[in-house]
Structure 1
Amino acid sequence: MAELADAKAHPAHLIVVVAFSRADNGLLVPAYDPMQFDTPEEATRMARYLAVKCAGVLAWIRDAQPEAGGYGSPTILFQSGDVPDLE
């Protein structure tokens, strides 16, 4: 039971990398499906790799409590090029 209480006290993290390319009309479009990672270091490494191939890349982290339906504000880990604003 202590593990369950600990999980509620310390929310999980959602760590995501999204990459963008430019469509023929100049608009930013996803280059790939969003990628989820276990650590900020893994996400940052992938984002740096994609930065040389894509118009823009964004790696971010946020607290997540899916069972409660809650997500914290995103914190940018890495940003390169043109990316849309985080909502």
Structure 2
Amino acid sequence: MAEFFVVQSFSPAKRGAMKPDIPVQATSIMHARRMAERLALQKPMVFATVTDADPEAGDFGEPRLICAYGDDLPEEVSNMQPV
């Protein structure tokens, strides 16, 4: 199994909603954390996750939270197991 590190940011949308930006893959936990910290200076919500996966076998674990920035985080993010 391999670990996949993903940083997801959001941009403001109409009527106070947020729309997801294109997720970005990081190379490590520290890389994901640094990337999320930088994006949080410009974006209203950012979070980074790590997932254990074997894409060839189609086996994906539950994402775990590396870090999160922003107000009103979705329940799915708030309830993630931390790294």
The verdict on a shared fold, with TM-score over 0.5 as the criterion, is: yes
Q: TM-score range by the shorter chain?
A: 0.7 to 0.9
Give 4+ residue runs of structure 1 displaced > 4 Å after superposition: none
TM-score (structure 1 length as normaliser): 0.79
**Separation in 2 of the partners of 1:25 and 1:69?**
38
Q: How far apart are 1:65 and its partner, in Å?
A: 0.4
Counterpart in 1 of 2:50? 61
Percent of counterpart pairs with the same letter?
Answer: 38
Q: Matched residue pairs, number?
A: 76
**Which residue among 16, 32, 43 is the counterpart of 1:43?**
32
TM-score (structure 2 length as normaliser): 0.82
- Render the CA deviation track for 1:28-84: whole Å, top value 9, x for unaligned: 102x31100111110100000011110100100010100110111111001010443
RMSD (CA atoms): 1.6
- Structure 2 portions without partners, runs of 5+: none
- Structure 1 portions without partners, runs of 5+: 1-10
Counterpart in 2 of 1:19? 9
Q: Which of these two proteins has the greater Rg computed from alpha carbons?
A: 1
